[in-house]
A = this chain, B = another copy of it.
């Protein structure tokens, strides 16, 4: 793990103070817990994970509220919106990447493509649009599912 969580929490503390919000244990802990989880997650998964890893657990409301804060702060992102599910990801220490989503097995594969990123910036420039973030989801069938289907 190449991510300096201590530094992130320090920055997050500043971020909260700047907004006159309180630095609570619950908020700081969630950063550790998400980093520790180490993969994409849905709210439900996170709730279970937190219960499993702590004695106190956490309410869904707090999770939703804190996730929103962490998105504003910029360390997590909604990476997939499919059906009624929202999949989040801890994005610190990763280059921007996008996702291949297998509609058969649900497997999510990350990929990085600098060229796609650059072309997007060009498009935005062309329209005088100031991008804040983006989401590219490619839905399809992964190689394993494809070979299984052929059999």
Contacts and interface: CB of A to CB of B under 8 A. Distances in A.
Interface residues of A, number: 33
A139 B131 contact: yes
Nearest to A86: B81
Given A103-B132, A135-B137, A115 B119 contact: yes
A111 B127 contact: yes
A109 interface: yes
A129 B140 contact: yes
How many chain copies does the complex carry? Answer: 2
A33 interface: no
Contacts of A100: 123-124, 127, 129, 131
A58 B137 CA distance: 32
A100 B139 CA distance: 20
B113 A123 contact: yes
A23 interface: no
